[in-house]
């Protein structure tokens, strides 16, 4: 019993760090691909390039420490409740990262300053990937 608990105490943080790295990788590569397509004129116009530049700025916020809290809460709830569903981790990861731009605007009363949809698409996709990777590594055996 103690070895199983000790194993979980090691597995969960390692799996969380790997899932976070996958999320960052997906966000960077997908964001870079979309930004390159927008700059070459294959997708959208000037506002699209600005949207992907905003994605790069938001990417810096993703690396900040406070943005990890929603995903950490998701993992803690999943571990304590012993949730083994891949949908919980995948959708939860997408929501945790997808709602990140709204959290950055919490102090701003102007709702017209909402980030473009492209930013939400990239962040949600990265969250889906991270959630699925966490489930594969540690969530299946919660």
Express each pLDDT in 87-136 by its tens digit. Answer: 999 999 999 888 877 776 666 666 666 666 777 888 889 999 999 999 99
Of the chain, the percentage scoring pLDDT greater than 70 comes to 67
Output the pTM of the full model.
0.78
- Res. 77 pLDDT band, cuts 50 70 90: very high
Query: 19 or 40: whose pLDDT is higher?
Result: 19
Contact 135, 90 (CB under 8 A): yes
SS3 content of the chain, % helix, strand, coil (to 5): 80, 0, 20
Query: 118 or 13: whose pLDDT is higher?
Result: 13
Residue 33's alpha-carbon distances to 6, 25, 36, 121, in angstroms, are 41, 12, 5, 13
């Amino acid at each position: 019993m103690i070895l199983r608990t000790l194993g979980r105490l090691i597995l969960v943080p390692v799996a969380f760090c790997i899932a976070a790295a996958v999320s960052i990788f997906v966000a960077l590569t997908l964001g870079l691909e979309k930004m390159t397509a927008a700059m070459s004129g294959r997708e959208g116009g000037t506002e699209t390039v600005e949207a992907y530049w905003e994605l790069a700025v938001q990417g810096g916020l993703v690396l900040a420490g406070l943005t990890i809290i929603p995903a950490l809460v998701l993992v803690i709830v999943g571990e304590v409740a012993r949730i083994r569903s891949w949908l919980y981790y995948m959708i939860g990861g997408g929501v945790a990262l997808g709602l990140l731009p709204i959290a950055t605007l919490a102090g701003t009363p102007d709702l017209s300053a909402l980030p473009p949809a492209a930013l939400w698409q990239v962040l949600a996709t990265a969250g889906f990937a991270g959630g699925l990777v966490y489930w594969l590594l540690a969530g299946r055996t919660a």
